[in-house]
Amino acid sequence: MHDKPTPSTGISPKPGAWFVAGDIDGFFGLAVDNLVQLLLIAALCQGVLGFSGELLYGHVLPGAAVSLVVGNLYYSVQARRAALKSGENRHCALPYGINTVSVFAHVFLVMLPAKLAAQAAGAADPVRVAWQAGLLACLGSGLIEVGGSFVAERIRKATPRAALLSTLAGVALGFISLGFLFRSFARPIVGLTTFAVLMLVYFGRLKFRGRLPGGLVAVALGTLLAWLTGIAPVGTAPEVDLAFYAPVPVLGDLLAALSGGHWLTFLSVIIPMGVFNVIGSLQNIEAAEAAGDSYDTRSSLMVNGAGTLAAAVFGSCFPTTIYIGHPGWKAMGARVGYSLLNAVVITLICLTGSLALIAWAVPIDAGMAIVLWIGIVITAQAFEATPRVHAPAVVLGILPGVGAWGAMMAKAGLRAGGMGTPQNPFSPELLPIFARADVWIDGAFALEQGFIFTAMLLAAATVCVIERKLMKAALWCLIGAGLSVTGLMHAYQWTVGDTALTLTPAWPWVWGYLAMAGIFALAPLVTVVPEDA
């Protein structure tokens, strides 16, 4: 049965079409998200790590381009095949890109410490040592992602949907929606105006005359307002060295990193970040299925890992992941072509050195309302695609992601105040200062480490309690205790400018989860089901 074209999406009735009208809107949303990651990478690599333009534009960005092409092309073809098989033009390609959390982790927990250690040891080129450490961390993450593809489907089947989708919603609220909400209210003329356009098109399901895509209207209007209000930079375009930077394998630097022992030094970052990407991608596959698009878990995750491995081989230090936001892009009407367009445009930006020029001409503020809307849709899906009785579990699963984002904001504020340097590093002395203001920041820092696991476990246990499957609830708590023993949850160490996971037992939380497991296991002996329940 073929889909009929609808006024809300304008989708072609032909199954397997490479492009439909909604792909334009989807492209703007995904491209803006990817552009934000590239700008973040450029700012951190040059501002924090001291990367030269030659290293950034000649290796890091071309490597990122290769990694993005690998996934974008595969997931486009995957969605088209599904459409041809079903005979319905309803399948939206899995979104794909670079993970924000991984960017910060690899910069502040791997590359910056490697650079500082190299400087202290008198290395001739500490920046190159930092880059090599980042390559190795990316390689390790890719290997974990590929390995995780063989067991991920079992995890997905054993985990309640409320646990998977609520964890994703917490990430969406904290790391997508709130950041762009703040930015929208900091620039209200641009932010609120463009968001009003998206409300009309996506909440109100209205169409502009001439069938102009809503995303295009929002970005064009946002760009115009940004220039008129002075948000966009005034004056001539920045000086950029436009050239073609071909991706080149950097196997020699990878071998140098392996022989230098970086993989042992940063194992406590590489392992959890790799597992983090596996679980996050798994949750996004579940979100796609909840939205009506069922894709094979193993092959999807394996290609995701292949993209990360390609990044490391060609010079990028940053893992790729199946992106958050599939329900939002699908609701926009995006299908196959938005992913292809993203691959082409982002690749051109990465390979031509035009990143600064694009950011100057089209400010991020112009597209921030699209990303904010994506976060809203993901959060809404967590409630819409799960039984209403599981709503408390969804809320509980959202909280750790929001809490982790809050911890990240607190540390960003400290760095903005001049801390996080070798002369003024982060230290446990911060804890009583926060406590005097009734901010239990040590709890936030502990919650931040492995928060995806924490969210899944608490939400899954809550679902089991709601359904009175108390022994299963106890089992989820035992898993929490086990992960805390390994240090994959809650254990953290102080670094110069951050708090990092450390693979050592987090004993207080081990005992806490064991206590929860004991209460649930003993509950049938000391409780009864009310007659009216």
User: What pLDDT, on the 0 to 100 scale, is given for residue 55?
Assistant: 96
Model confidence at 533, pLDDT cuts 50, 70, 90, reads low
What pLDDT does residue 32 have? 77
Tell me the pLDDT tens digit for each residue of 34-76: 887 898 899 889 988 999 989 999 999 999 999 999 999 999 9
Name the nearest CA neighbour of 296 among 156, 90, 97: 156
Q: For residue 261, which phi and psi values (nearest 5 degrees)? A: 85, 10
Map tokens 């009785």 to a residue: 389
Residues with Cβ within 8 Å of 236's Cβ and at least 6 positions away in sequence, in order, are: none
Q: Which two tokens stand for residue 451?
A: 């928060």
Q: If DSSP codes are grouped into helix, strand and coil, which group holds residue 108?
A: helix
Percent of the chain with pLDDT over 70: 95
Q: What is the mean pLDDT of residues 437-460?
A: 94
Closest CA to 253 of 307, 313, 297: 313
Q: What is the mean pLDDT of the chain?
A: 89
Token pair for 207: 């169409």
For residue range 9-26, what is the model confidence (pLDDT) as tens digits? 444 457 788 999 889 888
Q: How confident is the model at residue 102 (pLDDT cuts 50, 70, 90)?
A: confident
If one compares 275 and 268, the residue with the highest pLDDT of the two is 275
**pLDDT at residue 7 above 50?**
no
**Which has more confidence, 206 or 128?**
128
Instruction: Please tell me the number of Cα atoms within 13 Å of 257 on its side-chain side.
Output: 32
Categorize the per-residue pLDDT at 211 as very low, low, confident or very high, splitting at 50, 70 and 90.
Answer: confident
Going by C-beta distance under 8 Å and a sequence separation of 6 or more, which residues neighbour residue 104?
A: 44, 408, 498
pLDDT at 261: 65
Least confident of 272-281, 349-358, 442-451: 272-281
Each residue's pLDDT tens digit, 165-204: 998 889 889 887 898 899 999 999 999 999 999 899 888 8
Position 237 pLDDT exceeds 70: no
Q: Which two tokens stand for residue 510?
A: 């081990």
Tens digit of each residue's pLDDT (9 = 90 or more) over 118-137: 888 888 999 999 999 999 99
Q: Are 215 and 335 in contact (CB under 8 A)?
A: no
Per-residue pLDDT at 412 exceeds 80? yes
Of the candidates 3, 84, 33, the one whose C-alpha atom is nearest the C-alpha of residue 329 is 33
Sequence-distant (≥ 6) Cβ neighbours of residue 399 within 8 angstroms: 170, 455
For residues 134-153, give the mean pLDDT: 93
Element (DSSP H or E) covering residue 242: none
What is the secondary structure of 262-284 as a DSSP string?
HHHHTHHHHHHHHHHHHHHHHHH
DSSP character string of 120-169: HTT-S-HHHHHHHHHHHHHHHHHHHHHHHTTTHHHHHHHS-HHHHHHHHH
Higher pLDDT, 267 or 395: 395
Instruction: Using alpha carbons, select from 339, 299, 261, 322 the residue that is nearest to residue 72.
Output: 339
**Most confidently predicted of 275-279, 306-310, 452-456, 494-498:** 306-310
- The reported pLDDT for the residue numbered 484 is 96
Q: Is the pLDDT of residue 83 over 80?
A: yes
